[in-house]
Structure 1
Amino acid sequence: MEKRNLGQSSLSASTMGLGGMSLGTNIETAKSIIDEALELGINYLDTADLYDYGQNEEIIGKAIKGKRDQVILATKAGNRFTPGKEGWEWDPSKAHIKNAVKNSLSRLSIDYIDLYQLHGGTIDDPIDETISAFEELKREGYIREYGLSSIRPNVIKEYAERSGIVSIMMQYSILDRRPEELFPYLEEKQISVVTRGSLAKGILTNRALHQVKAAKDGYLSYSSKELAQLRDILQQNYGHTNSLNGLAYHYCLSHSPVASVVAGASSIEQIRQNVKAITDESLAEKELENIARITKNDVYEQHRM
């Protein structure tokens, strides 16, 4: 599988990443999925300390034991929680982040994290303090690089201008093209994008649309009727060479500075389908232009730069 560097770093991530949130809590199932992902060429694993209140990190740590050198491991921090207690609160302070990384390392049973990401952020945060925490962790060897998981243009700009982030995780798909307005700026800054939600909650798959819960009341600015019409057009024009999954992934990866699309999987069959989709034919320039023409080029209305 193709690999792309995250920003100017030496982290070389597979163009498809495996999201940990869908792995579940059965260690044997999770291990079998991760083993298959590695076998198929995926090296980028994404988790967060918040997923299952830390249990997801524990499971991934057990699953990659003895295979650490095969993995680019990304996790996230910024949401403070107490194990066994429901709920969490936002805490981007240096004290919390420097404590959270040690907890994540312990749960993952590893010595360092490849990519440590701030799991959110607001313009009112103590951003300099947060950046200082990540920079110190990098100097101390607890992390190799750091990034941001956010869709807020004003927050993204602050970190792009003031920090050494190498990547930003953003929701991005054919149905959510809002990040595209930021791409020229991020490319100039040499900051990579890692996408989530590229299948738009299952709408951009070959499943019958009536079976996709997220499509029943529309998706973002699309009505349910518009979704049905658009899917028909995409399948009629590209269904002979690409699955909808493949179309969705390739559309994202065709845009600089996207380095990797992160997709979840709850079974071996699902990870195989994801990898098969990403090996579909790439899209020609005219095809990309046509998809852009028939879809909405919305922009973020809040948290402006």
Structure 2
Amino acid sequence: MDKHRLGQSDLYVSAMGLGCMSLGTEEAPAVSIIHEALDRGINFLDTADLYDAGRNEELVGTAIRGRRSEVVLATKVGNRRIPGQDGWSWDASKTYIKSAVQDSLRRLQTDYIDLYQLHGGTMEDNIGETIEAFEELKQEGLIRYYGISSIRPNVVREYVKRSRIVSVMSQYSILDRRPEEAILPLLEQHGISLIARGPLARGILTDNGRSRPGKDYLDHTAAELAALHEELTRQASAPRTLTQTALHYPLSHQAVAAVIPGASSPEQLRLNIAAAEAAPLTAAEAAAVRQTVKAGVYTSHR
């Protein structure tokens, strides 16, 4: 599988990574999916301390034991569980980040994280202190690089301006083209990579997506989605499938280093890999998609 440089780092990630959130909590099937992904050329694994209250990191750690050198390992921080309380609270403080990284390293069974990402971010955070925490973790050798996972353009702009992030993870797909308006041009200008999550839009942009129960998605109504699925399938009928088009559309932008669809079964993983191994979209194919689907703009956090 093709590999792309992540920002201006020395990390080279497979064009399709594995979003580990949907692996479930059972060890055997999760480890099997990760091993097959690695065997098939995927080297980029993305998890977070938030997923299943740390269980996801534990499963990833078990799966990569003995194979650490094959993996570009990404995880996230910022959502804090408070004992005795339900749910999570947001904490981007230096103290918390430097404590949480130790827990992630233990669960992942590794002594360093390749890409440590702030899992959100607000304009109310002490951004300078947050950046300080990541920079110190780099100096200490606990992380190699850092980035931010955010769909807030105003927050992304602050980190681009004030930090040495190498990547921004953001939702980006044929059905969510908002990054084209506010984030992608900025990242391209500064040599920072986008990691596209949700490229299949909850399965809507797969070949079986038409059979899913009618629901809205962002500002697309159920009726619009049905019509778009039909038109995009027609466009993709020669020479590729809709799933192939959907995975390759984000990658057609210069600033995108990887897409990270999830997989909850080996069959789903294999379908995604087969689609990712198809030829890149031509300029004409990408233009046809843009003409078919409205671009969208961010209405908040601008």
Q: TM-score interval w.r.t. the shorter chain?
A: over 0.9
- Paired residue for 1:187? 188
Shift of 1:209: 2.0
Paired AA for residue 259 in structure 2: V
Shift, 1:50, TM fit: 0.5
The residue identity in structure 1 corresponding to 2:208 is R
Contact 1:27 1:59 in 2 (8 A): yes
| 1:31 to partner: Cα distance | 1.1
Q: Residue type of the partner of 2:250? A: C
Distance in 2 of aligned mates of 1:276 and 1:70: 21
The unaligned stretches of length 5 or more in structure 1 are none
Which blocks of at least 5 consecutive residues in structure 2 are unaligned?
A: none
Give the aligned partner of residue 89 of structure 2. 89
Q: What is the distance in 2 between the residues matched to 1:251 and 1:91?
A: 34
Output one character per residue of 1:120-162: Cα deviation in whole Å (capped at 9) or x when no partner: 0011110000000000000000000000000100000000000
* Amino acid aligned to 2:234: Q
Contact 1:178 1:298 in 2 (8 A): yes
Instruction: Name the residue aligned to 2:197.
Output: 196
Which residue is 1:281 aligned to? 279
81-90 or 123-132, which moves further after superposition?
81-90
Q: How do 1:1-305 and structure 2 match up within 5 A?
A: 1-82=1-82, 86-181=86-181, 182-211=183-212, 213=213, 216-304=214-302
- Give, in angstroms, the shift of residue 46 of structure 1: 0.2
User: In 2, distance between residues paired with 1:275 and 1:303?
Assistant: 34
CA contact under 8 A between 1:53 and 1:83: conserved in structure 2? no
For residues 196 and 130 of structure 2, the distance between their equivalents in structure 1, rounded to whole angstroms, comes to 23
- The answer to whether the 8 A contact 2:18-2:45 is kept is yes
Q: Distance in 2 between matches of 1:89 and 1:54?
A: 15
CA shift digits 1:147-180 (9 cap, x unpaired): 0000100000000000000000000000000001
* Deviations, residues 260-291 of structure 1 (Å, cap 9, x unaligned): 00011111111111100111232211111111
Q: Is the 8 A contact 2:82 2:89 kept in 1?
A: no
Deviations 1:16-50 (A, max 9, x none): 01011111111111111011000110000000001
Question: How far apart in 1 are the matches of 2:62 and 2:204?
Answer: 33
**Structure 1 range deviating more: 177-186 or 60-69:** 177-186
Once residues 235 and 106 of structure 2 are traced to their aligned partners in structure 1, the CA distance between those partners, rounded to angstroms, is: 49
Q: Would you say how many aligned residue pairs link Structure 1 and Structure 2?
A: 301
Q: What is the one-letter code of the residue matched to 2:190?
A: K
In structure 2, what residue type is equivalent to 1:268? P
Aligned residues of 1:243 and 1:280 also touching (Cα < 8 A): no
1:205 and 1:26 map into 2 onto residues whose CA distance is 26
Root mean square deviation, CA, Å:
1.2
Instruction: Give how far 1:83 is off.
Output: 6.8
Q: Equivalent pairs: percent with the same residue?
A: 56
**TM-score of the pair, normalised by structure 2:** 0.97
